[in-house]
Amino acid sequence: MKSKINRRNFFVRVSQAGVTGCALMFGLKLSYIDSFSRFLDDDEIPDPKKLEYCGYQCPEKCPWRQGTLENNVELKKEAYEQWKIKERFDMEFDPDTMFCYSCKANDKPEGFILKQCTVRNCCMEKGLDCCIECNELSSCEKDLWTRYPKFKEAVIEMQKKYF
């Protein structure tokens, strides 16, 4: 993927993506999500293989992933509470089932959250690397999209660049 991005813009955009990701992962009001669709340059075509199934790029310091890699029960518990897992799935916290290596870490076991992700499951069933490859994205009403409609809009904009 060729791009005319300079070093400063790269770091600004990576920082924006990280902040957006953390906010998205923890269900906060997203002030940065509006800028997510501008994360890519106009001439840059998204690569589905480099994105998660939903079109997101998980931040390196995601507490859920970091808690998993470090086997840090406190970070996992923090993510569990911020993601409102109890409220959404009526699932009690269990550090042995609450983990995440990222949704495309196929050589790792699947934690509870991955198993519940309808976007990931759909992409895998259809043999897609990312939902931006799906012709049904604009009409899709999976849980992620109904909870984060602005994120869905940003992913649809990425899809337009992809096609």
Number of independent structural domains in the chain: 1
44: in domain: yes
In terms of phi and psi (left: phi > 0; alpha: psi -120 to 50; beta: otherwise), the region of 102 is: left
Q: Which amino acid is at 11?
A: F
Q: Which amino acid is at 57?
A: Q
How confident is residue 155, by pLDDT bands cut at 50, 70 and 90? very high
Smallest Cα–Cα separation from 132: which of 68, 60, 55, 76? 55
- Entry pTM: 0.71
pLDDT digits (tens, 9 = 90+) for 88-127: 999 999 999 999 999 999 899 998 888 889 999 999 999 9
pLDDT > 90? residue 2:
no
Q: Domain of 110? A: 7-162
Dist CA 14 CA 93 (whole Å): 31
2: in domain: no
